[in-house]
Amino acid sequence: YGQSKLANVLFAQELAKRTASQNVLVNVIHPGGVNTDLGRHLDESIDKALPALVAKAVKTLIKTVLEAAWWHPRDAALTQLYAAVGPSLLAAKTTGKYYHPIARANVPDVRFCQNETLQTKLWELTEQLVAEKTSAFK
C-alpha cells in the first residue's frame, strides 16, 4: 500500500514538471481514512485469527475507533474537489503540491517523495512498461 502511494506522489510530481509549460495543473491527493466498505473482509480475518469472544471485542473496538477517526465519504471528497476546481489553486496555477484532508497543503516525506531521481526513474519505467504492454496493439 505504501509503495503504491509513493508511486502516486512520484508520478504526479514528475507529470507536474513535464506539463508545467502547458497550463496543466497536477496535484497529489491523500483522501485520508474514509469510512467505506474497503475493509469489509477484515471481520472474517479477525474471526479466523482469534477466539470468538476476543474477536467480537476486537471488532467492536476497531469499529468504534475507526468510525470516530475516519472521514465520511462526502467530507473526504472535499480535498479532491478543492484540488480540481479550487479557485485559489487555479488562480495561482498551483501544481506539484500534496494535499490531505481536508484540503490542506502538506509536504510528503522529503527523503522519497521529493527525490527527483526516483520521479524520473518511475516515469521512464512506466513508459517502458506501457510500450511493452501495448506493442501488440500496433
99: enclosing H helix or E strand? strand 98-100
Query: Cα dist. 81→10, 27, 85, 111 in Å?
Result: 21, 12, 6, 28
Query: CA 28: distance to chain centroid?
Result: 7
Is 1 catalytic? The answer is yes
Question: Do the beta carbons of residue 38 and residue 63 sit within 8 Å?
Answer: no
Terminal-to-terminal C-alpha distance of the chain: 33
Catalytic position from the list 1, 82, 98, 99: 1
Helices and strands in the chain: count of H runs, count of E runs:
7, 3
Positions marked catalytic: 1
